[in-house]
Copies of this chain bind each other. A is one copy, B any other.
Amino acid sequence: MTETDIAPPRRKRAPSKRSLETRARILDAAERLFAQGGFDGASMRDIAVAADVPVALVNFHGGAKEALFDTVVARRAETLARHWLDALESAKADHGPLDLRAVLDCFIRPYLNLAATGGAQWTAYARLIAHVSADERWRPISERCFDPTVAVFVAELIPKFPKAETRRIAGAFVFSISAMLSLATSRWRIEAMAGDSGEATSGLDEWADFLIDFCEGGFRAALAG
């Protein structure tokens, strides 16, 4: 952690193809299990079984358990941050200065698209973020992986509400983030609540406009004047 990277060995030659596949299988399995039960909800042994490798390989590729957890969270966070910032930049390039709705769209739609098309791993990742956010032990991870990108979006929103206190704007944005995550993790519950029995009857992308409407309306109502 004090060093340049978290990767397992000091790379001397390129890692073999098989090694890379093994490493990916381990990280994917860890992500899935950590998403279900949090850091302590999955043992190194569980992860080894899920990845179909012996336990020692989990330590070899992932390092100690805490380092493995950190790697798993950080890996996808980087991808996500890139999608968010790219969406912002290309929207600006295409349409000039962005209005409130466009900024919210740049935050909400990239993740929902990943979750709708990229399948289960991106949905699991929302649960993982929920675990990280719920547990005080992982504050450093949140601060390092998510806060910088969130700060960019908040900075983007500040000039749109010149009369509002900054913390109100940040508050409304945090409300929007949590609504987005709850949609990803609890769509099944929402639809069950409405009596839509059993399986999810709609894709995440069907909900995108609805969620953006909600957040935009919330911002305008709470920060009006």
Query: Which A residues have a C-beta under 8 Å from some C-beta of B?
Result: 36-41, 127, 130-131, 133-137, 142, 147, 150-151, 154, 165-172, 174-175, 177-179, 181-183, 185-186, 189-191, 193-196, 201-202, 207, 210-211, 213-222
Contacts and interface: CB of A to CB of B under 8 A. Distances in A.
A210 B222 contact: yes
Contacts of A201: 167
Contacts of A177: 182
Interface core residue of A142, A167, A215 (most chain B CB under 10 Å): A167
- Looking at chain A's contact residues, is the secondary structure mostly helix, strand, loop, or mixed? helix
A221 B217 contact: yes
13 contacts: A39-B41, A40-B40, A130-B134, A131-B134, A147-B193, A169-B194, A174-B190, A175-B211, A213-B221, A214-B222, A215-B218, A217-B222, A220-B221
Nearest to A210: B222
A175 B40 contact: no
